């Protein structure tokens, strides 16, 4: 599992959204600059430590998320410049919010090698934006899409369904407005009320604010149909892209690639060999003989405190199977064969059969002409047949049931 992806976390926002439980901080304008300066100096130091250890040599994708990275302005440009000094990623994404993305910042990011901007649009209905605590309006969101494209960068838009006050008509208007702006990539997420957030507390008093799952499913269906008709293909449960514009960084997460995390709350995942090689960069975390992978989360600003989760080879295989079910391509024969090395074949076959019985998945040919539609999972697992187990429409809408089938094999 080569380390091919790098994530950097910028935990600062002008104002925290009412639904958000991510690690982020807000400061008064007079304090923000000093806080950002101090934090970015620690990011630079962490980056250099990884670079000097040779951990960035094979990085192919970079993603700077938050929080609101665009709030950092020139500091974000400098971070991108320093990352590029250590590696040559083919895809480099920075998250941004419409209110803090300027034409000057977009041009500067493009100049230092950023290739992609992911915009938090969420909705084009101003009443809905206010309800969830966003501080931009629809016009600013559409202007930001144009700004990114004018800078020569790919642009992705995040959208949310099931928002307070949202209707089928307002959702369709959002989709039509975003499509008219012609981004390269669109992600569609159902709103989840996370415990402890302001929106969760309000919904505890007013049940009408709780997202309606049937309405969210209908919105997801509408999005899939409208985006598909406009040339955006679904390649993951929440992700749509024009051909050639899929997010390679997120695909690395979903296909079990190794990745590194920079900054507070940033997560990384290493195989045991890579962790042993880089263990000195994770103080307080010890190696464990039965671990096949180690997932690490930085818990402070200056990289002195980490949490570690150790995955056995069987747990890693089950996780790979579960994550593959997020992808339109599903679970390929190679992954099934690898999983069968550590998961009893009978249990693995039973999980595949159960997915078919529930209508959550189906077998499709894996590039083999004349393939028979009916196949026994044991034949794929044994390498005697070439097929992929892919999610059906129901498996896409009710993915948690499908995911649990395979994570249950851990």
Q: CA 235, CA 329: separation in Å to the nearest integer?
A: 7
Give the residues of the chain that fall short of pLDDT 50.
369-373
**CA–CA gap between residue 398 and residue 74 (Å, rounded):** 42
First to last CA, the chain: 19
What are the residue ranges of helices labelled H in 236-312?
248-254, 272-278
Q: What is the pLDDT of residue 367?
A: 64
Residues whose CB is less than 8 angstroms from the CB of residue 406 and which lie 6 or more positions away in sequence, other chains included: 318, 321, 322, 325, 331, 351
Residue 144 is predicted with a pLDDT of 98
pLDDT at 371: 46
Alpha-carbon distance of 47 to 179, in angstroms, equals 37
Which H or E run includes 233?
strand 233-236
What pLDDT sits at residue 22?
A: 81
Residues with Cβ within 8 Å of 387's Cβ and at least 6 positions away in sequence, in order, are 333, 363, 364, 365, 366, 368, 371, 375, 380
**Whole-number pLDDT of residue 208:** 83
Q: Which residues contact 65 (CB under 8 A, 6 or more apart)?
A: 7, 8, 9, 10, 95, 118
Cis preceding-peptide flag for 269 (omega within 30 of 0)? no
In order of 78, 81, 204, 235, 278, the CA distances from 85 in angstroms are 11, 6, 49, 32, 20
Both tokens assigned to 6:
């790098």
DSSP state, 162? Answer: S
- Residues 339, 348 contacting (CB under 8 angstroms): yes
Predicted local distance difference test score (pLDDT) of residue 21: 82
pLDDT of residue 377: 67
User: Residues 262, 45: contact at Cβ < 8 Å?
Assistant: no
Closest to 367 measured CA to CA, from 345, 386, 340:
386
Domains of the chain are 3-251 (3.20.20.70), 330-407 (no CATH)
Q: Which residue shows structure tokens 């809905």?
A: 128
Q: Where are the alpha helices (DSSP H) in 103-212?
A: 103-111, 126-131, 138-150, 168-181, 198-205
Q: What is the pLDDT of residue 369?
A: 46
């Amino acid at each position: 599992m080569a380390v091919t992806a790098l994530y950097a976390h910028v935990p600062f926002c002008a104002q925290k959204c009412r639904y958000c439980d991510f690690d982020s901080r807000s400061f008064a304008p007079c304090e923000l600059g000093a806080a950002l300066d101090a934090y970015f100096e620690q990011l630079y130091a962490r980056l250099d430590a990884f670079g000097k250890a040779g951990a960035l040599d094979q990085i192919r994708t970079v993603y700077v998320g938050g929080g609101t990275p665009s709030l950092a302005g020139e500091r974000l440009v400098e971070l991108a410049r320093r990352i590029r000094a250590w590696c040559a990623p083919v895809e480099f994404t920075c998250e941004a919010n419409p209110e803090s993305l300027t034409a000057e910042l977009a041009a500067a990011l493009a100049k230092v090698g950023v290739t992609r901007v992911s915009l938090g649009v969420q909705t084009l209905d101003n009443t809905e934006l206010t309800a969830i605590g966003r501080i931009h309006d629809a016009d600013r969101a559409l202007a930001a899409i144009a700004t990114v494209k004018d800078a020569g960068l790919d642009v992705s838009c995040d959208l949310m369904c099931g928002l307070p006050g949202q209707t089928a008509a307002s959702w369709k208007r959002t989709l039509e407005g975003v499509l008219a702006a012609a981004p390269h990539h669109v992600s569609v997420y159902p709103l989840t009320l996370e415990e402890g957030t302001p929106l969760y507390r309000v919904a505890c008093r007013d049940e009408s604010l709780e997202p309606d799952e049937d309405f969210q499913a209908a919105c997801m269906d509408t999005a899939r149909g409208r985006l598909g008709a406009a040339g955006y293909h679904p390649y993951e449960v929440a992700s749509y892209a024009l051909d050639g514009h899929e997010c390679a960084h997120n695909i690395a997460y979903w296909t079990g690639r190794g990745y590194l995390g920079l900054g507070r709350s940033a997560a990384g995942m290493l195989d045991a060999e890579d962790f042993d090689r880089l263990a000195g960069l994770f103080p307080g975390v010890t190696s464990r003989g039965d671990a096949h992978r180690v997932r690490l989360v930085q818990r402070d600003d200056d990289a002195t405190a980490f949490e570690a989760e150790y995955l056995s080879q069987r747990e890693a295989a089950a996780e790979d199977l579960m994550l593959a079910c997020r992808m339109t391509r599903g679970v390929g024969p190679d992954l099934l064969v690898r999983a069968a090395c550590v998961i009893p074949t009978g249990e693995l076959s039973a999980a595949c059969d159960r997915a078919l019985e529930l209508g959550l998945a189906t077998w499709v040919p894996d590039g083999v002409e004349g393939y028979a539609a009916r196949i026994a999972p044991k034949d794929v697992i044994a390498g005697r047949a070439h097929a992929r187990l892919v999610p059906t429409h129901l498996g896409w809408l009710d993915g948690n049931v499908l995911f649990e089938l395979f994570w249950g094999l851990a």
